[in-house]
Amino acid sequence: MSTANNEIILNVVDLKKYFPIKQGFLVKKTVAHVKAVDGISFHVVKGKTFALVGESGCGKTTVARTVLRVLNPTSGKIVFESTDISNLRYAQLLPFRRRMQIVFQDPMGSLNPRMTVGQIVTEPMLFHKVVKNKKEAYEKAASILNTVGLKSFHLDRYPHQFSGGQRQRIAIARAVSIEPDFLILDEPTSALDVSVQAQIINLLLKFQQEYGFSYLFISHDLGLVRFISDTVGIMYLGRIVERGVTNEVFDKPLHPYSRALLSACPVPDPRVERGRQRIILKGGVPSPIVRPQGCFFHPRCPYKTDVCEKEYPEFREVSKNHWVACHLVK
């Protein structure tokens, strides 16, 4: 990841989030932990996009919720610009809450069905006092709705009166209404069909170009990640196994898991596509409660050696800005 001349907006260092599993009838005791996020580090450069990819359950949404401090981290640092926000209390967090926003996968679940679009979009503006009064908030909301491709008469309608794509536009309008610098997009288009997906992605890119937004983009869709992101981290069972500039990681993935995952992503050149081989992984993702000894990926890895069964590999920078955790990569 190039950092030399670039300002970093978000720096996450060795972040961990464990969820306790409690058992017992009257007295509940912690018997184990779900290690949803287990020591991950990455940064987002101002005005750029960092993507997190990985199988379902590997901890992507937990990273998003912990970075926003909806969840408290078990340990690690979350540095926004130059402030460590990992231990800030509610009142101290408020200014950062205004600057960091999230758009979720399911717009119906993230919009209050009893509020009109006008109330939904103006509420954060009034709460964070970015406008003087309700009238100004509604004027601003109407202009934002136009920017996201909706009309001002939509302000009086309720979320159920819109299509999925329109609802996602409302969620984006609400997120950008308070002029944040940093947005987390947690699978923002996975519930939408391809053409609506393209419209939403173009809208997000337009915002990035016009207002310099920085994005943490979470997705299963590898084609989309390649298109939208500058840098990428590949997650497996709560850890990042490979991280680097998107084009380099996609062209030359080094970790066996990344190779398998990216072999499923089609290449636009038909000659290259014809010669490519899909790597089919055997077995499922192990449990984040009882993880394998050694490298977490070794039970599914076709290249594993003795050391892979014993030690978790160090996360090393193997070439400039290209980091990987694998014993076999020299």
Ligand X SMILES: Nc1ncnc2c1ncn2[C@@H]1O[C@H](COP(=O)(O)OP(=O)(O)OP(=O)(O)O)[C@@H](O)[C@H]1O
Residue number, 154 or 300, with CB nearest to ligand X: 300
Residue number, 62 or 74, with CB nearest to Mg ion: 62
Total residues contacting ligand X by CB under 6 A comes to 11
| Residue 62 touches which of ligand X, Mg ion, none (Cβ within 5-8 Å per kind) | ligand X
Amino acid at 208: Q
Q: How far is the CB of 63 from ligand X (least distance, A)?
A: 7
Task: Tell which residue, 261, 244, 259, has the closest CA to residue 328.
Answer: 259
Q: How far is the CB of 63 from Mg ion (least distance, A)?
A: 9
Amino acid at 28: K
Q: How far is the CB of 53 from ligand X (least distance, A)?
A: 9
Give yes or no for a contact between 178 and 130, defined as CB atoms under 8 angstroms apart.
yes
Alpha helices in 113-267 (DSSP H): 117-127, 134-147, 164-176, 194-211, 222-228, 246-251, 256-262
Q: How far is the CB of 57 from ligand X (least distance, A)?
A: 4
Q: How far apart are CA 240 and CA 316, in angstroms?
A: 11
Kindly tell me the sign of the dihedral angle through the C-alpha atoms of 131, 135, 139, 141: positive
CA torsion angle 188 193 195 199 (round to 10): -20
Which residues partner with 77 through β-bridges?
A: 13
| Residue 165 touches which of ligand X, Mg ion, none (Cβ within 5-8 Å per kind) | none
Residue number, 38 or 230, with CB nearest to ligand X: 38
On the CB side of 185, how many CA atoms lie within 13 Å of its CA?
30
Q: How far is the CB of 20 from ligand X (least distance, A)?
A: 8
Give yes or no for a contact between 48 and 6, defined as CB atoms under 8 angstroms apart.
yes
| Residue 294 touches which of Mg ion, ligand X, none (Cβ within 5-8 Å per kind) | none
- Looking at residues 235 to 294 of the shown chain, list those that interact with ligand X (rule: CB under 6 A): 288
- Looking at residues 43 to 62 of the shown chain, list those that interact with ligand X (rule: CB under 6 A): 56-62
Give yes or no for a contact between 217 and 228, defined as CB atoms under 8 angstroms apart.
yes
Residue number, 62 or 101, with CB nearest to ligand X: 62
| Residue 19 touches which of ligand X, Mg ion, none (Cβ within 5-8 Å per kind) | ligand X
Residue number, 36 or 295, with CB nearest to ligand X: 36
Residue number, 101 or 177, with CB nearest to ligand X: 101
Q: Give the binding site for Mg ion (CB under 5 A).
A: 61
Cα-to-chain-centroid distance, residue 200: 16
- Looking at residues 12 to 41 of the shown chain, list those that interact with ligand X (rule: CB under 6 A): 19, 34, 36
Residue 40 CA: distances (Å) to CA of 17, 73, 108, 213, 309: 10, 12, 30, 23, 21
| Residue 315 touches which of Mg ion, ligand X, none (Cβ within 5-8 Å per kind) | none
Residues contributing to the site for ligand X (CB under 6 A)? 19, 34, 36, 56-62, 288
